[in-house]
Amino acid sequence: MSRRHARVTAIGIAGALLLAACSGGAVETGKIAGRAGGEPAAGARPVRIQASNFEFSPEHLTVQQREEIALRLQSEDSSHNFAIDGLGLVVDVGGGETATARLRIDEPGKYTYFCTIPGHRDGGMKGTITVR
Ligand SMILES: [Cu+2]
């Protein structure tokens, strides 16, 4: 590969990454106190959610303030994820797979969860989580 070709390729990759970052339906973080992602805490309550094109089941969840949740996301078709507006990405799941991650919200309120994959939220992949 020539030096010039290498530089053009590098610019192309940077552009593709930037595009991916911009079109990914980014989730806002740092507005809600809590934990999103990583290993579930010991003794966490398991909560199962099914993800499919284009809905979550259930569409409503209720948890207690500061309650440790082991969120188990099961994909019935393609890749999906579960993110909470203001808190962050909780878990990603590959097509037909199941993945589990930590979730804890420290402030009571009503929050929105959704799938960040482009088009999925607009297609209906969203729900509400009530924290008491
Ligand atoms: Cu999705």
- Quick: pLDDT tens for 16-61: 444 444 445 789 999 999 999 999 999 999 999 999 999 999 999 9
CA 124–ligand 1 middle distance (angstroms): 9
**Closest C-alpha among 87, 92, 82 to residue 58:** 82
CATH placement of domain 28-131: 2.60.40.420
Rounded to the nearest angstrom, the distance between the alpha carbon of 69 and the centre of ligand 1 is 21
Q: What is the pLDDT of residue 3?
A: 58
Q: Are 132 and 65 in contact (CB under 8 A)?
A: yes
Q: Report whether pLDDT(71) > 70.
A: yes
Cα(101) to ligand 1 centroid in Å equals: 17
Mean of per-residue pLDDT scores for the chain? 89
User: Which of 15-24, 40-49, 72-81, 95-104 has the weakest average pLDDT?
Assistant: 15-24
